[in-house]
Amino acid sequence: MDIDPRRRARLVEVGVVRTPPGRSPELRLLAVAEALEDWIARLGPTAVSVERVFAQDNLRSVIGVAQVMGVVMVAGARAGLEVAQHTPSEAKAAVTGSGTAGKAQVQAMVQRILGLDAPPRPADAADALAQAICHGWRGGGTGNDGAAEMVSAGGSVRAAARTPAQRRWAAAQAAARRTGAVDPRRAARRGGAP
């Protein structure tokens, strides 16, 4: 996806890697890694954004997501790309205005933002595009060296090269991104508002 300085997003390509459920985990991860390496080599992105794992009740699902997340992060780092992480609720909020939006709402808004004739299918493709839009619009995340990066329409500034004012601004941006990025089921269990 390309996002210009005026925040207009344009779809370049989207894909979803599917692997047979019965295949061994290492071969499934290898298939993901090979697909990513191909996309990176062919499309020449400047950044990758990956869904950050957060509170989930299904441990098996968390482990699988974390493994794929690691593969994506390594592929991005190996290619020298900026690697960012955003929670699903951050990506949903970026495209719909609500961190608790459903799959259909995310698909509809991604379709609208990108000017597509139809909603992205499968829903995982819309989720990936929402991640990319989120990062393109909000920036931030963490760099491939673990340092926070501030991104604006004028480009990005690595943490080490920032002025004190830029450091305060980046901290405020990071705090704003975290606001509301809580699993509503978890908040409800603690007696908080969903």
Q: Is residue 193 part of a domain?
A: no
Strand partners, 48: 83
20: domain range?
A: 2-187
Give a yes or no: residue 76 inside a domain.
yes
Select from 150, 175, 144 the least CA-distant residue to 164: 150
Give residues with Cβ within 8 angstroms of 8, minimum separation 6: none
> Tens digit of pLDDT for each residue in 137-181?
988 654 433 343 433 333 444 445 556 776 676 666 555 554 444
Residue 96 maps to a domain: yes
Phi-psi map region of 180: left, alpha, beta (phi>0 left; psi -120 to 50 alpha) = left
Q: Is residue 53 part of a domain?
A: yes
Short-list 135, 139, 132, CA closest to 15: 132
> Would residue 34 count as lying in a domain?
yes
Helix (H, G, I), strand (E, B) or coil at 137: helix
Query: Residue 180 to residues 49, 117, 150: CA-CA distances in angstroms?
Result: 19, 31, 20
> Is the pLDDT assigned to residue 71 strictly greater than 80?
yes
Rounded to whole angstroms, the Cα distance separating 189 from 194 reads: 9
In a domain, 192, yes or no: no
Q: What value does the mean pLDDT of the chain take?
A: 81
Q: How many domains does the chain have?
A: 1
Q: 95-108, pLDDT tens digit by residue?
A: 999 999 999 999 99
pLDDT band at 56 (very low <50, low <70, confident <90, very high): low
SS3 letters for 49-60? EEECCCCCCCHH
Copy the structure tokens of residue 162.
């920032």
- Residue 135 above 70 pLDDT? yes
The enclosing domain of 43 has a CATH number of 3.30.420.10
Structural domain contains residue 155 = yes
Kindly state whether residue 55 falls inside one of the protein's structural domains: yes
Phi, psi values for residue 134, rounded to 5°? -55, -50
Please give the model's pTM, rounded to 2 decimal places.
0.70
